[in-house]
Amino acid sequence: MSVSGHEYLFVTGYWQAMTDDKEIALPADPNDPEDRPVSKAGLMMAHKGRKLRMARAGLGLSQEAFAGLLGVSSVELQAWEQVRQKIPEDVFAKLLDIKASQ
């Protein structure tokens, strides 16, 4: 099963993350069958998505306008902001350029 770019393995009644960073930052709630563990890498990915969304909002730009400045589709930007795809490292360098030009 693949969810948000992570592979999960069903182990003794709960889902365990099988990621490159196997260290779990937030364990799944064993009483919630829909809850999933979050690895440290997943938590960092979520933090980057939030930072990107907050930067866009701080600039007062729509997803469409911001995506155009980054040279990507609004669908791709939305996937980054919603932590469905990993954000390429060069995006934050482009963000600095955008902020400098505002």
| Per-residue pLDDT tens digits for 7-35 | 444 444 444 444 446 788 889 999 999 99
Cα-only R_g, the chain: 16
Q: Which helix (H) or strand (E) covers residue 100, if one does? A: helix 90-101
pLDDT confidence of residue 21: 61
Could you say which architecture CATH assigns to the domain 41-101?
Answer: Orthogonal Bundle (1.10)
| Rounded Cα–Cα distance for residues 66 and 22 (Å) | 33
Every domain of the chain with CATH number 1.10.260.40 lies at: 41-101
For the chain, the helix, strand and coil percentages under 3-state DSSP, each to the nearest 5: 45, 20, 35
Pairing of strands 38-39, 24-26: antiparallel
Residue 17 pairs in a beta bridge with: 8
Kindly state the percentage of the chain with pLDDT values over 70: 79
> Would you state the structure tokens that stand for residue 74, as one six-digit string?
């609004």
User: What mean pLDDT, rounded, does the chain reach?
Assistant: 83
